[in-house]
Structures are given as structure tokens and as C-alpha cells.
């Protein structure tokens, strides 16, 4: 850890210890890293003798209900009284807009301090203090280092939450974001009591009949666009409704489709609530999908990004296009 990073860890720890009422928030459509970070953070605050309010805009994927704090997460922002908090911490959000509290955070009072802990590239510099490590494979990898810097004892439950973020964000250590430091962190986390084989079961054996049928629909519509070296597929609103599949399943399909050999980039487009949502994936080093997604008003990582646009997908004679609003 560089000296400047060590200083930031200490500043974050000091702020957490000094705060009286803490709100922790993670991003909409949460994944294992988002809810692993949120659950771990709740336990971290508890070990400082504080209760953190945990917020994530619903719905939450039921497959992650084994994580600590899951049942305490507030999903309806009307139940939050923002004025109560003197510290707001966003975890793994990429952009403040993904907290679903962008307005509330922008309009915070002078007494309310805002910290971002994240491994996504910075978009806005919206916070008062930023613990941002883009080389970390997951936000939980950063939280692991934060706990070490605070000399904190990590319980097996906390360790399981940390490992969840690492293995879901690296697809079980196969993404190039899993560095030697990530593996070293995971090794320490295992010594702290995390159980990798149980976690693999909890995070991989989660597909329902409906979600596998949705995979089938997505795969049956898979097409190649040779001009852009792109493999893409589409899911319309009815497909999603009929399958009962959640956002997690769609991310799973996006990951699976990206294993295609014939294309450099994969894309799933889906219709939902009057918007067209896109999930982009690549395994190529020379392609930066974060730039592409940002040009479309979204964001994410170089290899995995997303965006949404007002409009809908229409199919004519087997040819799909986006009708913009």
C-alpha cells in the first residue's frame, strides 16, 4: 500500500469512528460485491459499536440472502429520513446516480459527510472523501484492506461477505482483474473463516427454471454483427416477465455470451419499463467498454459496462432495432 493510500484508509477509519448515525448505500440492481460490501460494512460498524442503516433500492436478488445484514437492508427510500445521518457511505456504486439517492446526496447539509468506497473509475468526484482503488478486483477487496488497516478482527460471517464480492466480481478468479493481491487477500479471507466451496454453491447453483428458459430465449436470438465484431441478443419485456428472472440472471447471460469465440464484444439489449438496457462485455485488453457505455450515458469497467436509453426494442422480419423516444 502506498503512503497516500494508507493516509486515506486512516481518514476513512477516523470518520467512521467519529460518526454518530451512518447511512451505507450500494447500487441499484445489486450484485454479490454490492451486497457483500454492504453486509460487511454493517458488521464493521457494529464492531466500532455503531449501528449503520443499510440501504439499497429494491428489488434485491434472493440468491444473496445468505449475506450478513441482508434482512435489515432498507429497499424503499421513503423509509429513510436523510436528515438523521451525519455520515453517508456509498459502496461499489461507480456513479452517485446508481445509489438512487443522487438528489439527497447532492443536497446534503454541511454537517453531512459523504464517502465513496469503490473500485470503479471515478466519474464525478462527488464525495468529500474517496477511497477508490481501480486496481482492486472488488469493493470487498478494498474493505478487506480497510479492516486490516483498522486492525479489526474479521468474523467468519464477515469473511464470507468479503469473499462473495471477490468471487462474483472475478467470476471465481478467472477475470484478469484478479491480481496476485486479490488472490493474497482471498487467501487471508479464507484463513479468517470464509468457506469457498459453500460459497460457490450459494452463488452458482442459483438458476431457476424460469431463468434457464430465459437463457434459452437469449441464446436462440444470438446474432453476429461482423462489422463491429459484436455478438448480440435481445430480450423483450414479456420474456423477462414470463421468466420471473431477475437482473442477476441477465448478468449471467451476458457473462456466458461473452465466452463466444467469433466476436470481440458481446451485448444484451433488453426492454424494461420504457427503457432499453444494454450490458456489454469483452475479454479484450485493447477495448474499453467503459468509454462506449459512457458515450451512451452509462458506465462501468473496461471489460463490463452498461447503459440505458429511453426507447424500446422492435422486431421486424427477424431484424431488431431500437425505437428511440
The binding site for Mn ion (CB under 5 A) comprises 33, 92, 138-139, 169
Query: Minimal distance in Å, beta carbon 136 to Mn ion?
Result: 9
Query: Minimal distance in Å, beta carbon 139 to Mn ion?
Result: 5
Measured from each CB, the residue nearest to Mn ion is 33
Q: Could you give the count of Cα atoms lying within 13 Å of 38 in the half-sphere of its Cβ?
A: 33
Judged by beta carbon, residue 240 or residue 280, the one nearer Mn ion is 280
Judged by beta carbon, residue 104 or residue 141, the one nearer Mn ion is 141
Query: Minimal distance in Å, beta carbon 210 to Mn ion?
Result: 26
Query: Minimal distance in Å, beta carbon 60 to Mn ion?
Result: 16
Judged by beta carbon, residue 53 or residue 140, the one nearer Mn ion is 140
Judged by beta carbon, residue 42 or residue 94, the one nearer Mn ion is 94
Query: Minimal distance in Å, beta carbon 264 to Mn ion?
Result: 23
Judged by beta carbon, residue 112 or residue 305, the one nearer Mn ion is 305
Query: Minimal distance in Å, beta carbon 304 to Mn ion?
Result: 10
Judged by beta carbon, residue 162 or residue 231, the one nearer Mn ion is 162
Amino acid at each position: 500500500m502506498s503512503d497516500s493510500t494508507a493516509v486515506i484508509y486512516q481518514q476513512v477509519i477516523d470518520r467512521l469512528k467519529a460518526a454518530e448515525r451512518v447511512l451505507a448505500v450500494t447500487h441499484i440492481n445489486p450484485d454479490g460485491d454490492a451486497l457483500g460490501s454492504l453486509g460487511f460494512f454493517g458488521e464493521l460498524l457494529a464492531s466500532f459499536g455503531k449501528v449503520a442503516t443499510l440501504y439499497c433500492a429494491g428489488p434485491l436478488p434472493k440468491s444473496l440472502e445468505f449475506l450478513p445484514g441482508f434482512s435489515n437492508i432498507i429497499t424503499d427510500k421513503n423509509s429513510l429520513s436523510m436528515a438523521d445521518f451525519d455520515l453517508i457511505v456509498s459502496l461499489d456504486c461507480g456513479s452517485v446516480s446508481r445509489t438512487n439517492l443522487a438528489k439527497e446526496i447532492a443536497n446534503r447539509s454541511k454537517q453531512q459527510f459523504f464517502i465513496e468506497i469503490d473500485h470503479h473509475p471515478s466519474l464525478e468526484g462527488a464525495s468529500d472523501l474517496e477511497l477508490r482503488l481501480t486496481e482492486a478486483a472488488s469493493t470487498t477487496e478494498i474493505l478487506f484492506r480497510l479492516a486490516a488497516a483498522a486492525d479489526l478482527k474479521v468474523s467468519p460471517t464477515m469473511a464470507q461477505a468479503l469473499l462473495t464480492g471477490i468471487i462474483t466480481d472475478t467470476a471465481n478468479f478467472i477475470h484478469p482483474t484478479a491480481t496476485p493481491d486479490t488472490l493474497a487477500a482471498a487467501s487471508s479471507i479464507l484463513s479468517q473463516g470464509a468457506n469457498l466451496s459453500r460459497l460457490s454453491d450459494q452463488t452458482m447453483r442459483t438458476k431457476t427454471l424460469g431463468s434457464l428458459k430465459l437463457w434459452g430465449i437469449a441464446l436462440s436470438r444470438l446474432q453476429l454483427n461482423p462489422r463491429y465484431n459484436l455478438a448480440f441478443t435481445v430480450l423483450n419485456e414479456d420474456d423477462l416477465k414470463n421468466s420471473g428472472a431477475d437482473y442477476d440472471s441477465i448478468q449471467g447471460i451476458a457473462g456466458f455470451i461473452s465466452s463466444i469465440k467469433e466476436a470481440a464484444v458481446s451485448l444484451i439489449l433488453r426492454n424494461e419499463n420504457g427503457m432499453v438496457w444494454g450490458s456489454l462485455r469483452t475479454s479484450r485488453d485493447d477495448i474499453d467498454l467503459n468509454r462506449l457505455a459512457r458515450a451512451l450515458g452509462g458506465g462501468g469497467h473496461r471489460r463490463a459496462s452498461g447503459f440505458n436509453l429511453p426507447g424500446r426494442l422492435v422486431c421486424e422480419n427477424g431484424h431488431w432495432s431500437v425505437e428511440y423516444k
